[in-house]
């Protein structure tokens, strides 16, 4: 199995543009989540999901939307990108006990 | 979830054991100790977790003190590829949402 996959790997946006960061897992995990990591800082939770159709906010949800229509996919949407959203984004999936992270998406908002 | 305290950085000689400490004095009885690491530019990698007994897997050993207020992650024979930021995380599973709260971690530098 491929584990947790994220696309794209890199993205450059202009302020105000929208985009969707994709995350998929093939391990039938219930739990999925999105984190962002800024230089010199630890990971901060954006949104998470405990199953298809169920999502909730994390520490820094503003400016981001999520949905979970299937077990496998958990896309993160930026409706109107801002320079403050320049970051590295990590998706994770797992069980109630353990989370596994994807390789990350590096986003630059100009 | 309980807060953890880790030293900001540590060095270790290649081939020697790396012992990474973590204090979690406010841990409650149903909270587990987790360790993750993040190698430069990669996603965090799960290492090990435990409740109160010592745990060992193919990557590392986790030693938790009897009062559970501190723990040590042991990499028995550190290699250059073990250079990373190591995160100690305490969380419960009773109302689990799968989320992890990351602190600043310990930057381990393995030197030849």
Nearest to A21 by CA among A83, A102, A100: A102
Residue with tokens 């992890």: B100
Per-residue pLDDT of chain A (110 residues), as tens digits, is 569 999 999 999 999 999 999 999 999 999 999 999 998 778 899 999 999 999 999 989 999 999 999 999 999 999 999 999 999 999 999 988 888 999 999 999 99
B95 near A CB under 8 A: no
B39 near A CB under 8 A: no
Nearest to A98 by CA among A18, A39, A54, A33: A33
B94 near A CB under 8 A: no
Chain centroid to CA B65:
14
Pair A32, A68: CB distance under 8 Å: yes
B9-58 confidence digits (pLDDT tens): 999 999 999 999 999 999 988 889 999 999 988 999 999 999 998 999 99
Q: Which of B1, B3, B35, B43 to mutate to test the interface with A (most CBs of A within 10 A)?
A: B43
Q: Residue B110's beta-bridge partner residues?
A: B12
């Amino acid at each position: 199995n491929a584990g947790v996959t994220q696309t794209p790997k890199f993205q450059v946006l202009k302020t105000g543009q929208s985009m969707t960061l994709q995350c998929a897992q093939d391990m039938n995990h219930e739990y999925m989540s999105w984190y962002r990591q800024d230089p010199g800082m630890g990971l901060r939770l954006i949104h998470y999901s405990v199953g298809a159709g169920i999502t909730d906010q994390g520490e820094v949800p503003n400016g981001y939307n999520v949905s979970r229509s299937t077990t496998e996919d958990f896309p993160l949407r930026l409706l109107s990108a801002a320079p403050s959203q320049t970051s590295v984004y990590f998706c994770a999936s797992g069980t109630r006990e353990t989370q596994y992270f994807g390789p990350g998406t590096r986003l630059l908002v100009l | 979830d309980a807060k953890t305290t880790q030293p900001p950085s540590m060095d270790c000689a290649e081939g020697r054991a790396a012992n990474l400490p973590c204090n979690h004095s406010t841990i409650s009885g149903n909270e587990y100790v987790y360790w993750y690491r993040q190698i430069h530019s990669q996603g965090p990698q799960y290492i090990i977790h435990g409740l109160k007994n010592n745990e060992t897997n193919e990557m590392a050993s986790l030693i938790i003190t009897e009062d559970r207020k501190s723990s040590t992650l042991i990499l028995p024979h550190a290699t250059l590829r073990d250079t990373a930021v190591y995160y100690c995380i305490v969380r419960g599973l009773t109302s689990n949402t799968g989320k992890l709260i990351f602190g600043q971690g310990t930057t381990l530098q393995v030197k030849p």
